[in-house]
Structures are given as structure tokens and as C-alpha cells.
């Protein structure tokens, strides 16, 4: 009986380690290009930004420093990403990009984003993303939830302006 129990646990551990060690690779080919301009509230275009892209599937981080006012980011399909837009003296904004549903192709999404000046002693990392961008199979393109974005932007603005 003891040998059967030991054999069972060994086989169980091998099975668990096999499943835990496998990382599912996406069955997608292609990319989505995000092209955006950044503005300061009540001012002109912003430059000297830092953009962090975190692949939420692999936890891989990519830092991009921009000295231009327009960003062009290319993300592979098949993954989910969190994009952080940062500038010293401004509230950090996050965009959640869900590219898991798109299986192949080249997509483009253009946007303008307003950053709000904020005292550096306050953190904005706890705020939810201001935009959720996902692939819509029926429309065959990437779309964002306008209602969610409207509410998230208002919450962020209220928080930022209360700390000025």
C-alpha cells in the first residue's frame, strides 16, 4: 500500500510540474500599432515622456523614452498589456490593451491623451486604467469602451484636482 501511495504522489508531482512549466504561447500573428499624441491640461503638446509596456502574460517589461510629442508603439497580438504613460510632475495614466482575441493581421489605433499636472509627492499608480482597448470580432477592429473611459477619466481628474 505504501509503495502505491508513493508512486501516486510521484506521478502527481510530475504531472503538476509539467503543467506548471508550460507557458501557453499565443496562436496569433500580427500586431496592433498604437499611435498617440500627448497634451498637458490647458497647455500644448508634451514631450520627454516615459512609456512602460508590461506584457501581462509573460510579465515582461519594456521601457520607452520619447522626446517627441507623438508615440508609435507596436504590440504583438495574442497577449494582454498594461501601458503606463509617465512624465515627471504629471499623473501617470494607464491603458489596458487586450489583444488576445485578434488572431492575425495588422491593426492600428490612434488616440490623443491629456495628462494632468500633479504634485510629485502624490502617487497615481493606484488608479485604474483610463482606457480598455480590446479587439471586437464583429467589427474586426480594436475598440475602446467609451462609457468606461468617460467614468475613469472623471475619477482621475477629480483625484488629481483635489490634490493640487
Q: What confidence tens digit (pLDDT) does each residue in 133-147 have?
A: 999 999 999 998 888
**How high is the mean pLDDT in each 10-residue block of the chain (164 residues)?**
55 50 62 89 79 90 79 91 88 90 90 82 71 90 85 79 67
11 occurs within a structural domain: no
pLDDT of residue 7: 55
pTM, rounded to two decimals: 0.74
141 occurs within a structural domain: yes
93 occurs within a structural domain: yes
How many domains does the chain divide into?
1
User: How far apart, in whole angstroms, are the C-alpha atoms of residue 148 and residue 83?
Assistant: 17
End-to-end CA distance of the chain, in Å? 71
Q: Are strands 49-55 and 80-86 parallel, antiparallel or unpaired?
A: antiparallel
Q: What domain range includes position 74? A: 26-162
10 occurs within a structural domain: no
79 occurs within a structural domain: yes
106 occurs within a structural domain: yes
Q: Is there a contact between 120 and 89 (Cβ–Cβ < 8 Å)? A: yes
Amino acid at each position: 500500500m505504501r509503495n502505491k501511495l508513493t508512486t501516486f504522489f510521484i506521478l502527481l508531482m510530475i504531472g503538476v510540474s509539467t503543467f506548471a512549466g508550460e507557458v501557453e504561447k499565443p496562436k496569433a500573428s500580427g500586431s496592433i500599432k498604437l499611435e498617440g499624441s500627448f497634451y498637458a491640461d490647458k497647455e500644448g503638446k508634451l514631450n520627454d515622456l516615459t512609456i512602460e509596456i508590461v506584457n501581462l502574460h509573460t510579465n515582461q517589461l519594456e521601457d520607452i523614452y520619447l522626446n517627441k510629442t507623438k508615440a508609435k508603439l507596436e504590440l504583438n497580438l495574442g497577449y494582454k498589456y498594461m501601458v503606463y504613460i509617465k512624465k515627471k510632475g504629471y499623473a501617470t495614466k494607464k491603458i489596458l490593451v487586450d489583444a488576445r482575441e485578434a488572431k492575425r493581421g495588422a491593426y492600428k489605433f490612434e488616440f490623443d491623451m491629456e495628462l494632468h499636472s500633479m504634485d510629485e509627492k502624490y502617487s497615481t499608480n493606484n488608479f485604474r486604467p483610463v482606457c480598455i482597448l480590446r479587439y471586437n470580432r464583429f467589427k474586426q477592429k480594436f475598440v475602446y469602451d467609451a462609457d468606461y473611459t468617460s467614468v475613469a477619466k472623471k475619477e482621475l481628474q477629480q483625484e488629481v484636482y483635489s490634490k493640487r
